[in-house]
């Protein structure tokens, strides 16, 4: 069995949090409400600890007209968590999406994924992109923001704006997140120095890694000038082990299995010449590979058929495509810094110049030991050449046990090296011109670069091994695999050119690298505020934004992609290494070791450094999206308390937005003169649209400390940048292709929110909110049958294939499709136990729960522009239930807290492979803890632990079968550190 978190521990943690959430408000109601003059919403707060940071954030939330939740640094340079995305889990309605190594990467808000969330840094919209393993999407080439690019220490606060106002730029259906770096004039002291040093240990990598930060702030007397600089550095070694299937396919997908002796030969679409070349005879599945299928096992597969394919033998029998164990090791280095120059010569003027930089470098080495025959058809001697000796399925057709002969076993390695950098410079200004007029604005530039320097796959194969087994019978979500060969011995494998009959004996792939995505953003904005009276003011402003997204990759010469035989005198043992320890960290039948190609030795042996690359002239990728957004707004702010005798405040306004976009790229066509056989043909497409976006936020306080909020708005979210380029991929043999769509319209929605908030004691809150979004349209990939000559593409794309211009092609293309409704509720509690006396008064609780439902209309296939297959399901990325609870204790010396975060299952992709309706992510529960002790007023020691429950993330396919695609263990991480401040 793989190592798992204990269900009892999860249940206990949730039970405790639930009991406290129910019981404590009742206890609190029995206590008299303290003098509201002490309420953190109105009192000055010195942020020196976790409780003070909560109080400060609560005051910000209360004073806003819109629905805004904030997290404020506990101290200078000390954010509450080690990762920005992980901090936001405590905000109601936010669910964390984790990437490789279990690190928080991006967020969804109220069921809307990362692509629907805009992020502003020091007031300016930005993008941040990183790479990842294939299972997590391989990389981000859109608008989604990857928070793991940044160290937390360079920020002092973040705010999550869930409802919009006219003065907030458009682009979000989920939320607008503001990240703020600290400013010198906000510090209480004229001089501040804060330094932190930590050691980080993970129980799987078994290494202690450094993490350090330094912040220095100085205000220069009465000059009104201040300067603040911060720098943070972190190095991490991560290890991840587990199981992967890549996909789940029906047994007929690749032509079925080799039939038993005496049964009709399974030709699997092969003609007589192909059968002879591959050695398929009445006695052999392929050359030197005898037929050993049993009649019972073979027939058991044939008898399983899907309802929609009743005449197709094996269509209802589902097996892992690439059953394999994995070992992933990452080396990360993250460095970031901020510099702010601030000038406040008088109370009416504030000018700041902000610089921010972050660099995140990752080298990930993945190794797999896998069976590959179930992923192949007869053309490369795959599944039709595999005998099935024993087989067992459950009632849904999912494999429980299988024993096979003639299975090709592969040891595969992947090295992925990328660097993500972010740079920003901006000027913010605010000037009170007179008692009634105020002008403010921002001018800034930022750049996000994801530089994929290398993504090299190497592999060696053991051909036609006997006794390969897949065993799920212990009831777990992942199987035990038996390989039927000594995988620790390099001599069990081959590395050589592919044979003439299609047998692959090893090889390599550059996987589209090197590549680079660069996004340059520019923002210029000015705002004017006219205070008509204490009860009424008008704001107006204009903004211009320009975004330039450029994606490129180089293509190696064809001659340099040919697999060559090992040089004379070189053995596989000389270019391999051994992967150890997966059996101890994962268990469940994993081998104690397996041999794998050492990528550095391989590169040296075959001269990898001499590989030649070329650009668009030989079919490499180069695509660009230039987007210009011009907008203006008019908004009124009001506070009618004096006129009505009770508080009614808020804002109402409208924003006009004009979007102009140019998408350009290259279509690859055959070229005899190119060293790759391809050349790029340039194409550019323009698109534009405009929108009027009204919005309003109203806050009513019918009695003291009870707030009722209402919000409504029209909002939009633009398509991901990567799909707006006019790029095309066509296979003229299989008659399939994919086409981007630069003419996509944005996703538009009407939203409504209502909330009630009770600030029943200082620093305390009980609230409930309802939200509703009518999503007018959605963007999804639709598979359509279209004749090639109707696509408007050059006939040169057909060269080298068997298709002709009048043939129908299956084309995948993104379209605007009907959307659907989304609605949900949020319940939130923030309760310091100050109603107790003595020791218990230092405790406190944070807890929230969100429930979301949605029904999105998905088009799975169409013909002639008419949908032929449709379905209704949840929005991709939406978890119906999310919850978070933090129990903390804090006094003058000691602080400790533990946080549990639950995220329900959610859809990762729809549709999935044939026979499966979707890809999903199973529910997860993560528990973290943190403690600190003030040795002196200046010196503090810190102890942190993450993933205390040793949770494992599992991805699955099909809502009914829920066959495991991927499940890994990341282990627990412990941090010890010290902080010094002066």
pLDDT, tens only, 880-933 = 999 999 999 999 999 999 999 999 999 998 888 888 989 999 999 999 999 999
* Sequential DSSP letters for 254-307: TT-PPPPTTSPP--TT--HHHHHHTT--SSEEETTEE----HHHHHHHHH---T
Q: Which two tokens stand for residue 954?
A: 């599992």
Highest-pLDDT range among 36-40, 152-156, 628-632:
628-632
Confirm if 741 and 665 have CB atoms less than 8 A apart: no
| 251: nearest Cα among 913, 919, 812 | 913
To which residue do tokens 């703020």 refer? Answer: 180
| Strand-pair partners of 544 | 524, 630
pLDDT at 294 over 80: yes
Q: CA torsion angle for 388, 393, 399, 403 (degrees, to 10)?
A: -30
pLDDT at 731: 79
User: What letter does residue 281 receive in the DSSP assignment?
Assistant: -
Q: Which two tokens stand for residue 294?
A: 């049993």
Cβ-based neighbour number of residue 296 at 10 Å: 12
Label residue 52 by pLDDT band (50, 70, 90). Answer: confident
Helix (H) or strand (E) segment spanning residue 204: none
Label residue 8 by pLDDT band (50, 70, 90). Answer: very low
Confirm if 912 and 880 have CB atoms less than 8 A apart: no
How far is Cα 289 from Cα 915, in angstroms, rounded to an integer?
30
| 69: nearest Cα among 174, 181, 159, 168 | 159
Q: How many residues does the chain have?
A: 982
To which residue do tokens 């490499």 refer? Answer: 620
Query: Among 109-118, 225-234, 739-748, which is the least confidently predicted range?
Result: 109-118
| Rg of the chain in Å (alpha carbons) | 30
How far is Cα 501 from Cα 658, in angstroms, rounded to an integer?
58
Sign of CA dihedral 564, 568, 573, 577: negative
Q: Are strands 765-787 and 843-863 parallel, antiparallel or unpaired?
A: parallel
How far is Cα 89 from Cα 82, in angstroms, rounded to an integer?
12
Label residue 303 by pLDDT band (50, 70, 90). Answer: very high
Query: Among 572-586, 595-609, 662-676, 851-865, which is the least confidently predicted range?
Result: 851-865
pLDDT at 139: 66
pLDDT at 568: 93
pLDDT at 29 over 70: no
User: What letter does residue 875 receive in the DSSP assignment?
Assistant: P
Confirm if 909 and 876 have CB atoms less than 8 A apart: yes
pLDDT at 141: 67
pLDDT, tens only, 923-978: 999 999 999 999 999 999 999 999 999 999 999 999 999 999 999 999 999 999 99
Q: Which two tokens stand for residue 609?
A: 């450094």
| 110: nearest Cα among 959, 906, 887 | 906
pLDDT at 531: 96
Q: CA torsion angle for 304, 306, 307, 308 (degrees, to 10)?
A: -150
Label residue 354 by pLDDT band (50, 70, 90). Answer: very high
How far is Cα 318 from Cα 399, in angstroms, rounded to an integer?
6
| Strand-pair partners of 95 | 108
pLDDT at 76: 67
Confirm if 788 and 805 have CB atoms less than 8 A apart: yes
Confirm if 757 and 827 have CB atoms less than 8 A apart: no
Q: What SS3 class is residue 228?
A: strand
Spell out the residues 6+ positions from residue 22 whose beta carbon is closer than 8 angstroms to its own.
none
Cβ-based neighbour number of residue 670 at 10 Å: 16
pLDDT at 592: 94
How far is Cα 601 from Cα 608, in angstroms, rounded to an integer?
10
How far is Cα 642 from Cα 648, in angstroms, rounded to an integer?
9
pLDDT at 337 over 60: yes
Q: What is the mean pLDDT of residues 377-400?
A: 95
Highest-pLDDT range among 117-121, 665-669, 720-724:
117-121
Label residue 46 by pLDDT band (50, 70, 90). Answer: very low
How far is Cα 32 from Cα 136, in angstroms, rounded to an integer?
51
Confirm if 248 and 376 have CB atoms less than 8 A apart: no
pLDDT at 2: 52
pLDDT, tens only, 139-151: 666 677 888 888 8
Label residue 11 by pLDDT band (50, 70, 90). Answer: very low
pLDDT at 20: 31
Query: Among 84-98, 413-427, 499-513, which is the least confidently predicted range?
Result: 84-98
pLDDT at 3: 45
To which residue do tokens 């008898």 refer? Answer: 303
How far is Cα 255 from Cα 270, in angstroms, rounded to an integer?
10
- What's the mean pLDDT when you consider all of the chain? 89
pLDDT at 652: 97
pLDDT at 646: 85
| 717: nearest Cα among 174, 306, 293 | 174
Spell out the residues 6+ positions from residue 186 whose beta carbon is closer than 8 angstroms to its own.
156
Label residue 641 by pLDDT band (50, 70, 90). Answer: confident
| 622: nearest Cα among 727, 706, 541, 743 | 727
Highest-pLDDT range among 17-31, 95-109, 594-608:
594-608
How far is Cα 612 from Cα 676, in angstroms, rounded to an integer?
11
How far is Cα 522 from Cα 545, in angstroms, rounded to an integer?
6
């Amino acid at each position: 069995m793989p190592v798992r978190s204990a269900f009892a521990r999860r249940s206990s943690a949730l039970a405790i949090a639930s009991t406290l959430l129910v019981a404590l408000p009742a206890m609190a109601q029995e206590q008299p409400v303290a003098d509201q003059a002490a309420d953190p919403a109105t009192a000055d707060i010195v942020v020196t600890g976790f409780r003070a940071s909560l109080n400060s954030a609560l005051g910000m939330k209360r004073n806003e007209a819109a629905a805004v939740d904030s997290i404020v640094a506990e101290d200078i340079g000390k954010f509450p968590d080690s990762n920005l995305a992980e901090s936001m889990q405590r905000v109601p309605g936010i669910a964390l999406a984790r990437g490789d190594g279990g690190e928080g990467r991006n967020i969804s808000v109220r069921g809307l994924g990362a692509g629907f969330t805009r992020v502003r840094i020091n007031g300016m919209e930005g993008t941040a992109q990183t790479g990842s393993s294939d299972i997590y999407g391989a990389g981000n080439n859109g608008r989604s923001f990857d928070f793991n690019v940044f160290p937390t220490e360079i920020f002092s606060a973040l705010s999550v704006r869930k409802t919009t106002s006219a003065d907030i730029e458009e682009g979000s259906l989920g939320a607008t997140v503001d990240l703020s770096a600290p400013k010198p004039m906000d510090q209480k002291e004229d001089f501040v120095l804060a330094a932190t040093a930590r050691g980080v240990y993970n129980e799987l990598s078994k290494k202690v890694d450094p993490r350090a930060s330094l912040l220095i702030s100085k205000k220069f007397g009465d000059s009104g000038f201040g300067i603040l600089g911060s720098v943070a550095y972190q190095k991490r070694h991560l290890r991840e082990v587990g199981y992967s299937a890549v996909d789940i396919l029906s047994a007929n997908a690749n032509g079925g299995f080799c039939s038993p002796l005496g049964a009709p030969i399974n030709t699997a679409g092969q003609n007589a010449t192909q059968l002879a070349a591959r050695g398929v005879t009445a006695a052999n599945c392929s050359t030197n590979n005898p037929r050993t299928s049993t009649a019972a096992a073979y027939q058991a597969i044939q008898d399983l058929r899907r309802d929609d394919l009743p005449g197709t033998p094996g269509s209802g029998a589902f097996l892992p495509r690439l059953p394999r164990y994995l070992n992933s090791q990452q080396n990360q280095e993250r460095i970031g810094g901020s510099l702010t120059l601030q000038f406040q010569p008088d109370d009416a003027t504030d000018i700041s110049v902000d610089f921010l930089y972050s660099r995140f470098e990752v080298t990930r080495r993945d190794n797999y030991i896998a069976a590959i025959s179930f992923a192949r058809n007869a053309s490369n001697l795959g599944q039709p050449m595999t005998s099935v000796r024993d087989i067992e399925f459950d009632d849904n057709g999912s494999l429980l046990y299988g024993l096979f002969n003639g299975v090709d076993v592969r040891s595969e390695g992947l090295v992925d090296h990328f660097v993500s950098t972010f740079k920003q410079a901006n000027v913010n200004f605010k000037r009170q011109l007179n008692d009634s007029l105020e002008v403010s604005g921002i001018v800034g530039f930022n750049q996000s670069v994801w530089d994929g320097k290398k993504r090299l796959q190497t592999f060696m194969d053991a051909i036609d091994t006997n006794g390969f087994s897949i065993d799920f019978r212990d009831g777990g979500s992942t199987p035990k695999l038996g390989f039927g060969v000594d995988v620790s011995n390099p001599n069990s494998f081959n590395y050589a050119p592919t044979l003439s009959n299609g047998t692959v004996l090893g090889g390599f792939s550059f996987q589209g690298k090197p590549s680079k995505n660069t996004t340059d953003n520019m923002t210029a904005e000015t705002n004017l505020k006219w205070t008509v009276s204490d009860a009424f003011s008008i704001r107006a402003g204009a903004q211009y934004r320009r975004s330039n997204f450029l994606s490129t990759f180089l293509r190696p010469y064809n001659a340099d992609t040919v697999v060559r035989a090992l040089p004379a005198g070189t053995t596989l043992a000389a270019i391999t290494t051994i992967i150890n320890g997966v059996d101890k960290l994962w268990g469940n039948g994993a081998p104690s070791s397996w041999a794998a190609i050492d990528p550095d030795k391989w590169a040296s042996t075959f001269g990898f450094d001499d590989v030649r690359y070329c650009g668009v002239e030989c079919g490499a990728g180069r695509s660009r999206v230039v987007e210009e957004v011009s907008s203006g707004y008019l908004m009124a702010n009001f506070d009618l308390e004096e006129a009505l005798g009770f508080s009614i405040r808020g804002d109402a306004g409208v924003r006009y937005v004009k979007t102009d976009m140019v998408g350009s790229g290259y279509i690859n066509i055959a070229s005899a003169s190119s060293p790759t056989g391809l050349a790029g043909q340039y194409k550019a497409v323009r698109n534009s649209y405009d929108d009027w976006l009204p919005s309003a936020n109203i806050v009513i306080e019918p009695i003291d400390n009870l707030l009722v909020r209402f919000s409504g708005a029209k909002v939009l979210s633009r398509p991901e940048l990567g799909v707006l380029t006019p790029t095309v991929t066509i296979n003229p043999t299989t008659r399939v292709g994919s086409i981007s769509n630069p003419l996509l319209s944005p996703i538009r929605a009407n939203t409504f929110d209502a909330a009630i908030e009770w600030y029943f004691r200082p620093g305390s809150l009980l609230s409930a909110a309802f939200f509703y979004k009518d999503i007018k349209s959605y963007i999804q990939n639709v598979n359509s049958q279209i004749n090639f000559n109707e696509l408007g593409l050059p006939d040169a794309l057909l060269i080298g294939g068997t298709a002709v211009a009048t043939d129908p092609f299956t084309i995948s293309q993104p379209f605007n499709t009907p959307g659907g409704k989304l609605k949900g509720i949020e319940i939130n509690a923030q309760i310091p136990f100050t109603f107790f006396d003595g020791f218990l008064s230092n405790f406190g609780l944070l807890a929230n729960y969100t429930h979301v439902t949605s029904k999105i209309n998905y088009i799975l296939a169409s013909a002639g522009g008419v949908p032929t297959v449709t379905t209704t399901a949840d929005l991709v990325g939406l978890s119906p239930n999310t919850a978070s609870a933090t129990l903390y204790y804090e006094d003058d010396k000691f602080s400790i807290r533990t946080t549990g975060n639950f995220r329900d299952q959610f859809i990762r992709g729809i549709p999935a492979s044939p026979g499966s309706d979707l890809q999903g992510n199973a529910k997860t529960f993560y528990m973290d803890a943190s403690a600190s002790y003030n040795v002196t007023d200046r010196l503090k020691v810190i102890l942190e632990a993450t993933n205390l429950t040793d949770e494992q993330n599992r991805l699955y396919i099909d809502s009914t079968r829920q066959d495991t695609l991927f499940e890994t263990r990341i282990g627990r991480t412990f941090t010890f550190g010290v902080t010094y401040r002066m």
